[in-house]
Chain A
Amino acid sequence: MSLDPQRRLRRRLLLAPTTLTLLLFMVLPMLLMAWMSVLAPDTYGGVRWKEWSLDAYVQFLYERDLDDSLTLNSDYLQIFGRSFLLAGFATVVTLLIGFPTALYIALKEEKTRQRLILLISIPFWTNLLVRTYAWMLLLRNGGLIDSSLSALGLSQGALDVLYTPTAVAIGFVYSFLPFMVLPIYTSLEKMDWRLVEAAFDLGANRWQALRRVILPLAMPGIVAGCLLVFIPAIGSYYIPELLGGGKSLMIGNLIQNQFGTARNWPFGAALSFMLLALVLLAMWVYTKRFQRPPGE
């Protein structure tokens, strides 16, 4: 049965502003970025539109010597590796804190649950840059943590944690914790708790009930939470910039650099494109594995 033409026209008109905006200012720029990543860079930023070049991708792995021979250069790989490590570490720690927190909230009464979820969501909607800055106040030498530790006699000398990878990891866990708690809570809330009761009735202890019943049922939420932490963490720009102090350079900083001092647009585009490909790959695996209709 087909819709009458008038209603179809109305639907098209309703969809047009959103579709056109997203196509023109989201999809098209991505395609342009992919294209620019295979062009030759111009001297002062910009690209040479008619000159194809795979240099941006070659540069990622190799260094071009004066005599045009290529030697392996692991600098950029190391930055990717460090980003993976830091984002992965942050994901694991947020999971270790976030899962018990979501479970704690899910086991409360309806009214309390709503309030606690609001408490988790408020930081989620507040300015991340400013919250990152708050950690600079806490972590720096002479800051609250440093001075309370030395007042308690727990540390000798300065704390020296700001401007290290540790500070970046602390910032990641803090910033992205709500992204972990909220999806896990959603899957726990939808869960049929009678299944856990049944496990207890059948003599399971708490650990067994948790591992064999609750964890598998919460798995979609756990995986969604891990992605929601990992993706923004790996592409993060200002958290490593502010808390890592430029020493623990991550992909985001490297990309920004290509449009600042380094002035190598094709390389910046290529790095962004590789980051995008990584994220899309992770999402694709996730939807393949976890978004099947129930009962399949």
Chain B
Amino acid sequence: MQASNTLWRFRGVTPTAMLAFVYLYLPIVVLVVLSFNANRIATLWTGFSFDWYLKVMDNDNILRATKNSLIIACGATVLATSFATMAALAMAGKRFRGQAFINAMLGLPLLVPEIVTAVASLLFFLALGLDLGLMTVLIAHTVFCIPFAYLPIRARLEGLDPRLAEAAADLYAGPFATFRRVTLPLILPGVLSGAMLAFIVSLDDFVITFFVAGAGATTLPVYIFGLIRMGITPEVNAVSALMLLVSIAFVALSYWMGQRKS
């Protein structure tokens, strides 16, 4: 309706938007294309090859880092999503004193620059005398995953009819049965999308992990950073392209799930 009126065509808007889309996708496309390059010099195209991917699959360090990344992402996702679901249920009820404070605290990991969180966590763990390793990374990841898991669950609860839970209670369902049989199935899409966001955010994190991971807990982004610092190589292209594709697959999946449910 709006587009049919020529008055709505603001000059320069379409070219700028096109530029923005090209700008956003050009580097991703170039990286993925170059990861299939046969040449050792990573920026000149000479021919198609899967070699670098095979090399990546063969690299023990990369596999170990991937394993660490997955352990931490799974652990942080399970912890953050269950904590966030519980908190969202409590926050959705009657208003109470201290609610604003808890809300502010939930916003903190999103608001504070990553490097500040990283420094604070590092100093805290060292002051406690904890050894830096998978445990410290898992704790730090759980903290910043909580708000990402919380927001979609809270949004889903917002749209929920409270009379459904009341009806269950009238039919003699206890609080736990009400949650399991009524509330949880209804908020499940929110819980799943929260879990997926938490997983991606944990998998992608670099700065905080870089600070709080000891030598034994190198995750994939931390390992990639080390490689990049040493120079641009086809192996880095391949492992980076893999990381991009995993994230893109996840986002597309969560979008598709959201579409199907609504």
Contact = CB atoms under 8 A, between A and B. Distances in A.
Q: Do A and B originate from a single complex?
A: yes
B121 A134 contact: no
A279 B31 contact: no
B126 to A, nearest CB: 8
A163 interface: no
Given A11-B90, A14-B86, A126-B28, A174 B124 contact: no
Interface stretch (A16-24, A51-59, A60-68, A69-77): A16-24
Interface in B29-63: 30-31, 34, 42-44
Q: How large is the interface on B (under 10, 10 to 19, 20 to 34, 35 or more residues)?
A: 35 or more
Contacts of A120: 24
B112 A279 contact: yes
Nearest to B259: A114
Nearest to A235: B113
Contact of B123 (A7, A33, A178, A210): A33
A22 B120 CA distance: 13
Contacts of B28: 123, 126, 131, 134
B232 A15 contact: no
Contacts of B123: 29, 32-33, 36, 265, 269
6 tightest A-B contacts by CB? Answer: A235-B113, A134-B27, A104-B17, A29-B124, A29-B120, A100-B16
Interface of A: 3, 7, 10-11, 14-15, 17-19, 21-23, 25-30, 32-33, 36, 46, 97-98, 100-101, 103-105, 107-109, 118-123, 125-131, 133-138, 140, 142-144, 173-174, 177-178, 181, 193, 200, 206, 209-210, 231-232, 234-238, 242, 251-252, 255-256, 259, 265, 268-269, 272-273, 275-276, 279-280, 283
18 contacts: A14-B87, A18-B146, A22-B105, A22-B109, A22-B143, A29-B120, A36-B127, A100-B20, A125-B197, A126-B247, A127-B204, A129-B221, A134-B31, A134-B240, A137-B31, A137-B237, A193-B2, A252-B113
